[in-house]
Structure 1
């Protein structure tokens, strides 16, 4: 994955974070409140946004290759935040076992980045 690809994904994800956050706070507020899932939805947006910022920084660092970390972050966002969005919007626990897998991928992304910095030092 090139820096350009990482930046494209980061920009798209950032746009989605703002759109989903606004949509959740306004259009979906009644549904999320009814299911008691406002906090779940906000957690999904927050984690997606944090890792979107991480992707942005990885993409801006053109001197180093961060493809593994970026791929782990992207996969983690999709599984972690995606499963939380699904839970918040449907109140279905069908994908509940996917959430920790996504969280593990996010942790692995940070571990990969840490390993890269240790090797570089």
Structure 2
């Protein structure tokens, strides 16, 4: 496993582990708090996006070995997206300061840029 592939796989594993842990913690340990703030759906959205991008990172790590390209950039954008998007939603769901609200779309933008970068690279690949 190459260095970059190892880092992408590690990021996928950490984000996946934390996504499952935070999903369970939200459903059980934080249930009353999230219900009191009316933010159960916000928490679920944060977990969903985190887990989807953990799985996408894992797929990207496998693809990276077979294809040279922007995998590191895509992985960095998706990881930043999880930190900003899911991270701000977790914080807001727990009653964090509302000034974090504008951070969420920045995470969404990082997700979109990562997907766009991946699409651009796939489009430019020669057809075998």
Report the TM-score range of the alignment, normalised by the length of the smaller protein.
over 0.9
Q: Between Structure 1 and Structure 2, whose CA radius of gyration is higher?
A: 2
Q: Following the alignment from structure 1 to structure 2, what is the Cα–Cα distance between the partners of residues 58 and 26?
A: 32
Q: Where do residues 68-83 of structure 1 align in structure 2 (5 Å cutoff)? A: 68-83=73-88
Q: Following the alignment from structure 2 to structure 1, what is the Cα–Cα distance between the partners of residues 27 and 104?
A: 22
Give the CA RMSD over aligned residues.
Answer: 1.1
Q: Normalising by structure 2, what TM-score? A: 0.91
Report Cα offsets for 1:19-70 as digits up to 9, x if no partner: 0000000000000000000000000000011111110101112122311111
Query: What runs of 5+ residues in structure 2 fail to find an aligned partner?
Result: none
Q: Normalising by structure 1, what TM-score? A: 0.96
CA contact (8 A) 1:2 1:67 kept: yes
Number of paired residues? 121
Give 4+ residue runs of structure 1 displaced > 6 Å after superposition: none
